[in-house]
C-alpha cells in the first residue's frame, strides 16, 4: 500500500524516516561526542513529530510551509538541549518546545500588537498556572496567580486577555438546530441606553404590533442593553428561544417600518 505524496517545504512527507529508540539514543550519544552528522539524522528522523504538532494550528490561516519551518526550529532547539541522563522520551521533551516556537511565531506575527511587558506578565502567569495546577491538582484562581507573581490581579487578567486570539463578532457559539447564537449576541451595549431609536415613531408603532413577551425582549435587549443570556434568565426561557423570538420580532417590525 503506497502513501499519498504530500510535499511541505520540498520534503516528501511519505518518505520521512522513523527512528527506533535504540537508533535515537545512539545518535544522541554520537552528537554529544561532537559528530555533527548525527544532528542532521536526528532532525530528519523526527520531522514527523513536527508534522503532528502543526496539525494543531491548521485553523490559524497560516501557510503550512511557514509553520513547518518554525516547528523545525523548535525541533532543533530540542535536539540541542536534550539530556540523555533524564528518564524522559525525546518526543515528550520536544513537543512542548515545538509548540512554544510556533506560538511565539504566531504571537509575533499577530496584526494586533501587544506590549512586551504585557506578554511577559501573561506568559509568566501561564507558567505559574501550570505549576499551581500540578501542585494542587486543580485550576488556580486569578488571585492565587497574582499573589505568586506579586502582580495586581487586574494586571494578570488584562495581560492574559491581551494574548488571546481575536474572535469575530459573528463567530457562532451555540446552535440547537435553529438560528445560531453569535458572539455579538453575548455582548451588552453599555452605550445608548437612554437614546431613542432614530425612527422613533415608526418603531413605537411597530412595537405595538408585537406580543407582550416580544416587546419585553426587545426592550431589555436594545433599551436596557442586556445580553440574550441575561434576558433568558430574567424571563425564564432558554437563550436559544430568546434569540429566535428576538429575530422574529425584528423581522416583523422591519416589514411594518418598510411598508
**pLDDT computed for residue 254 by the predictor:** 73
pLDDT in tens, 203-255: 566 677 788 888 888 888 877 777 888 888 888 888 888 888 888 888 877 77
The mean pLDDT of the chain is: 76
Count helices and strands (H / E) in the chain.
Answer: 12, 4
pLDDT in tens, 159-187: 887 766 655 555 565 555 566 666 556 55
Q: Would you place residue 110 in the very low, low, confident or very high pLDDT band (cuts 50, 70, 90)? A: low
- Residues 130, 138: Cα–Cα separation, whole Å: 10
- Residues 232, 224: Cα–Cα separation, whole Å: 14
Question: What domains does the chain contain, in order, with CATH numbers?
Answer: 7-108 (1.20.120.1810), 116-162 (1.10.10.10), 172-258 (1.10.10.10)
Q: Would you place residue 65 in the very low, low, confident or very high pLDDT band (cuts 50, 70, 90)? A: confident
Q: Would you place residue 97 in the very low, low, confident or very high pLDDT band (cuts 50, 70, 90)? A: confident
Average pLDDT over residues 78-103: 85
- pTM for this one? 0.43
Contact in structure between 209 and 256 (CB atoms under 8 Å): yes
**Class of residue 225 by CB neighbours under 10 A (exposed 0-12, middle 13-18, buried 19+):** middle
Distance of CA 141 to the CA centre of its chain: 20
Amino acid at each position: 500500500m503506497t502513501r499519498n505524496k504530500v510535499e511541505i517545504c520540498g520534503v516528501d512527507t511519505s518518505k520521512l524516516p522513523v527512528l527506533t529508540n535504540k537508533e535515537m539514543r545512539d545518535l544522541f550519544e554520537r552528537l554529544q561526542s561532537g559528530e555533527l552528522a548525527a544532528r542532521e539524522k536526528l532532525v530528519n528522523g523526527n520531522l514527523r513529530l513536527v508534522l503532528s504538532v502543526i496539525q494543531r494550528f491548521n485553523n490559524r490561516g497560516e501557510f503550512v510551509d511557514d509553520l513547518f519551518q518554525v516547528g523545525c526550529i523548535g525541533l532543533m532547539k530540542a535536539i540541542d538541549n536534550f539530556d540523555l541522563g533524564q528518564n524522559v522520551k525525546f518526543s515528550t521533551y520536544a513537543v512542548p518546545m515545538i509548540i512554544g516556537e510556533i506560538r511565539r511565531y504566531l504571537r509575533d506575527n499577530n496584526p494586533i500588537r501587544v506590549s512586551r511587558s504585557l506578554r511577559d506578565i501573561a506568559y509568566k502567569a501561564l507558567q505559574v498556572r501550570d505549576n499551581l495546577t500540578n501542585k494542587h491538582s486543580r485550576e488556580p484562581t486569578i488571585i492565587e496567580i497574582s499573589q505568586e507573581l506579586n502582580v495586581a490581579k487586574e494586571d494578570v487578567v488584562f495581560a492574559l486577555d491581551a494574548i488571546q486570539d481575536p474572535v469575530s463578532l459573528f463567530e457562532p457559539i451555540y446552535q440547537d438546530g435553529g438560528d445560531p447564537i453569535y458572539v455579538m449576541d453575548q455582548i451588552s451595549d453599555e452605550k445608548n441606553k437612554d437614546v431613542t431609536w432614530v425612527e422613533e415613531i415608526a418603531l413605537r408603532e411597530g412595537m405595538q404590533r408585537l406580543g407582550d413577551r416580544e416587546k419585553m425582549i426587545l426592550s431589555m435587549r436594545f433599551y436596557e442593553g442586556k445580553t440574550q443570556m441575561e434576558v433568558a434568565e430574567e424571563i425564564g426561557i432558554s437563550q436559544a428561544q430568546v434569540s429566535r423570538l428576538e429575530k422574529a420580532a425584528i423581522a416583523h417590525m422591519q416589514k411594518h417600518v418598510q411598508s
